[in-house]
Amino acid sequence: MASHKTVNKIYVVSVSGETVSALREQLVQNGFYFTQIESSGGIIQKESISLLIGIDQARAEELLRLIQTVCKRRRTYIPARTETVVLQTHPLMIEAEVGGALVYTLDVERFEQF
């Protein structure tokens, strides 16, 4: 198992379930280690995955470029959430932007690998 020399940043990357396979593959190919946490929610109630990625800040730009390349935003139509009986049989569709990634950066005060 390869050891991490320095981990001073944690990136929490939240992506859609549709995109996560391609992102995981690229992360592994580029030597990034991650922990995956599954969740769901948001306006369209679809699967969402958060990846925790511990890195040396020197690799931050490389990581962010990789995420930006893989996780593209796109437009799609989703059923609107309505309470009327008429619309339940023929749902009203609304256009929504999906995909992409949310990236949160956290400082690491201390890192130990056992």
Q: Which pLDDT tens digit goes with each residue over 83-102?
A: 555 545 666 777 666 668 99
Alpha helices per DSSP H over 2-109: 20-29, 60-70, 85-89
Q: What is the pLDDT of residue 90?
A: 66
pTM for the model stands at: 0.74
List Cα–Cα distances, 90 to 24, 29, 87, 93, 95, in angstroms. 37, 45, 5, 9, 16
CA angle 14, 20, 25 (to 5 degrees): 125
Residue 67, C-beta contacts closer than 8 angstroms, at least 6 positions apart: 13, 23, 101, 103
The string of pLDDT tens digits covering residues 11-66 is 999 998 778 899 999 999 999 999 999 876 655 556 788 999 999 999 999 999 99
Q: What is the pLDDT of residue 113?
A: 85
- Is the CA virtual torsion 105, 56, 112, 29 positive or negative? positive
What structural domains does the chain harbor?
9-107 (3.30.70.120)
Mean pLDDT over residues 59-75, rounded? Answer: 91
